[in-house]
Structure 1
Amino acid sequence: MNKNISDIARMAGVAKSTVSRYLNGGSVSAKTKQKLERITREAGYVPNTFAQSLKAKRNNLIGTIVPRLDSFAAAQTMTGIDEELREAGGRMLVYNAGQDRTRELEAMTDLARQKVSGIILMPAQVTEEHLRTAEAAGIPVLLIGQSNPALHSLVYDDYRAGLLMGRHVLDMGHRRIAYLGVTEEDEAVGLRRKEGFRAAAQECEDCEIFYYESSFKIEDARLAAERILDECLPSLIVCATDNIALGVMKTAHMRGLSVPSELSITGFGGYEVTGIIHPALTTVRFPYYEAGRLAARSMLRLTAGEEVKRLTVIDVELLPQESVDNLNTASV
């Protein structure tokens, strides 16, 4: 009786996905590979050539999972991915996770079933479930914005972004500052960005920093700003994203506070709107479009079996604009 993949998996004591990866030239440990080579040889296993031909049709169709569709960062990244893939003869299949971890994991599994060549994922957090799902998919998975040693990752230099912003606002004379961040479960935006800012603050002996937390939503940021202004009366609020900064600006205007003379505000991201609003927002530019193109190029190399750096760090750029008052000249 001919053996099938389920039989081989049972005999080897491994998952069917592991057998499938082995048969299709995917990544398995040396020990498992030796075991499967022996078992398939002894069992006289003959691969289903039709199924293998279906596998071969994973040509340059790349799945992309985004946290939400109304995000400037996600939109710019997707545009970069799409344009790079199209120029290379590839295509992109987009899933919206709606900032829901369960939907993220379901999307990874669904994309693998649809025989995409690889998956580009923009998660807020990388969990053990993500790693298990990526392994079960048996195809390359590349992270944007977060990193994990088990997966190829493309990240922004969030620590340097926070450091640049912290040094800038201190150089502008601000000493009573509120930092409005997000949950530290988000390692890039919530933790690394704040660590960089905190490092800059530690270089200054006479500053007071008050740390607050919000979600990424403008309305939540607006409410957080109400609390900040009631509790600590800072001269400046540093916001973890440009969207959060827009929420804080709304609160300032609702309270009749002039920006920047009565309240200075900064963000991170470099969203297009930050140069249109008045006053223009001081921020740190993150090259989302360029990152999307780089991610697509890296993924195409991975699907072709080529070597790609495990971790790529993308530089950022401080954009000083009109929303930060220079207190050094205020008393002159």
Structure 2
Amino acid sequence: MKVTINEIAKEAGVAKSTVSRYLNGGRISQKTSDKIRRIIEEHNYEPNSFARSLKSKKTGFVGVVAPALDSFVTSKILIRMDEELRERGYTTLISNTSHSIEREIESLQNLQRQKVDGMILFATELTPAHFELIETLTVPLLVIGQETDRTHCIVFDDYQAGYKMGEYMALAGHKNISYIGVDETDIAVGQRRRKGIEDGCTENGAEPIQFFKSGFDFDSAMLAAEKCLRNSQASAIICATDTIALGAMRVIREKGYRIPEDLSISGFGGYTVSKMIHPSLVTVEFDYLETGRMAAATIVNLMQSDEVDQLQRPHFTIRKGESVKGKK
């Protein structure tokens, strides 16, 4: 026999409105929330989301647009974010754009037509087309990965993370350092991370870095690493991502160099595989679980018209490894 919302409220010892608030992601105490969730799970209660949306003018859906679902960073954040949103009574609608800006814009437009309550964009680049669309949106938008004053953002502190890695390499005794990074169209990684690395190196005794451009993929990282080895005398290479670092490590080994005896290397991302390989990779590890929780809480607060900081930054740490000579 199917249980009703009235019966759930009675069993939980709360008002029907409290159960409704729970189902719609409203604010209630953690103790009450846990009690209602337990009763719902015991009775396998499934709320009528269509009826709820007609009554409340809300659908209970949060649209998520991501450039690539096979990305380590995106998947880590997305899994935690989805878990948090489910606990708050929301369902995610996920759209993969395969790094196409046109599909990204189309996906945001389609999600708005589907009457989602809010949208989250994992952005690798923000273009004039994005800003034009933002002006037309009628639901809250949260951007992850890029910073703008047009909407709310969660952004890694790329400058400080870059600075700390540059400082780390310089203080390990490396004076001649190369950097394999990405195009400047990516403001966060292409500009701020690079600037942080440059400042962290030079302000701690190293020479100005020599830059070699790569894409985010493994193959272009290998090509950039080959160019780096041909054209620099660096004792250390800092890479913009762990994927780039893994591509560079392969080339370094193929050319007969030893890591870290002949050449030190580091990355950004804190990927699981980076600590499983030998030598393990020194890398900046961003707190993806914190980011996922932060994203879920932020979009829910925005959908409820609560006040939220426009810019938020998750924490990061340098994860030690074996790939940098002079550091343990």
Normalising by the smaller structure, the TM-score range is 0.7 to 0.9
Corresponding residue for residue 137 of structure 1: 137
Deviation at 1:75, TM superposition (A): 0.4
Deviating above 4 A after TM superposition, structure 1's stretches of 4 or more consecutive aligned residues are 53-57
Preserved CA contact (<8 Å) 2:174 2:206: no
Preserved CA contact (<8 Å) 1:57 1:115: no
State the Cα deviation string for residues 57-106 of structure 1 (Å, max 9, x = none). Answer: 43331111111111100100111110101111111111111111111100
State the Cα deviation string for residues 139-161 of structure 1 (Å, max 9, x = none). Answer: 10001111110100111111110
Preserved CA contact (<8 Å) 2:59 2:117: yes
In structure 2, the residue corresponding to 1:180 is in which secondary structure?
strand
State the Cα deviation string for residues 216-274 of structure 1 (Å, max 9, x = none). Answer: 00110011100110111311110001111011011112112111111111000111111
TM-score of the pair, normalised by structure 1: 0.80
In structure 2, distance between residues paired with 1:58 and 1:101: 28
Distance 1:102 1:211, change over 3 A: same
Q: Which runs of 5+ in 1 are unaligned?
A: 1-52
> Which stretch shows the higher mean deviation, 57-66 or 102-111?
57-66
In structure 1, distance between residues paired with 2:259 and 2:205: 26
Same amino acid, percent of matched pairs = 41
Corresponding residue for residue 114 of structure 2: 114
In structure 1, distance between residues paired with 2:227 and 2:155: 32
In structure 1, distance between residues paired with 2:148 and 2:197: 23
Distance 1:223 1:157, change over 3 A: same
In structure 2, distance between residues paired with 1:98 and 1:55: 36
In structure 1, distance between residues paired with 2:241 and 2:275: 14
Distance 1:213 1:54, change over 3 A: farther
Corresponding residue for residue 28 of structure 2: none
In structure 1, distance between residues paired with 2:278 and 2:74: 24
TM-score of the pair, normalised by structure 2: 0.81
Corresponding residue for residue 215 of structure 1: 215
Preserved CA contact (<8 Å) 2:165 2:318: yes
Preserved CA contact (<8 Å) 1:235 1:262: yes
Matched, 1:79 2:79: yes
Deviation at 1:134, TM superposition (A): 2.3
Corresponding residue for residue 325 of structure 2: 325
Corresponding residue for residue 156 of structure 2: 156
Q: Counterparts of 1:1-332 in structure 2 under 5 Å?
A: 54=54, 56-205=56-205, 207-326=207-326
In structure 2, the residue corresponding to 1:115 is in which secondary structure?
coil
State the Cα deviation string for residues 1-30 of structure 1 (Å, max 9, x = none). Answer: xxxxxxxxxxxxxxxxxxxxxxxxxxxxxx
Distance 1:131 1:175, change over 3 A: same
RMSD: 1.6
Deviation at 1:131, TM superposition (A): 2.0
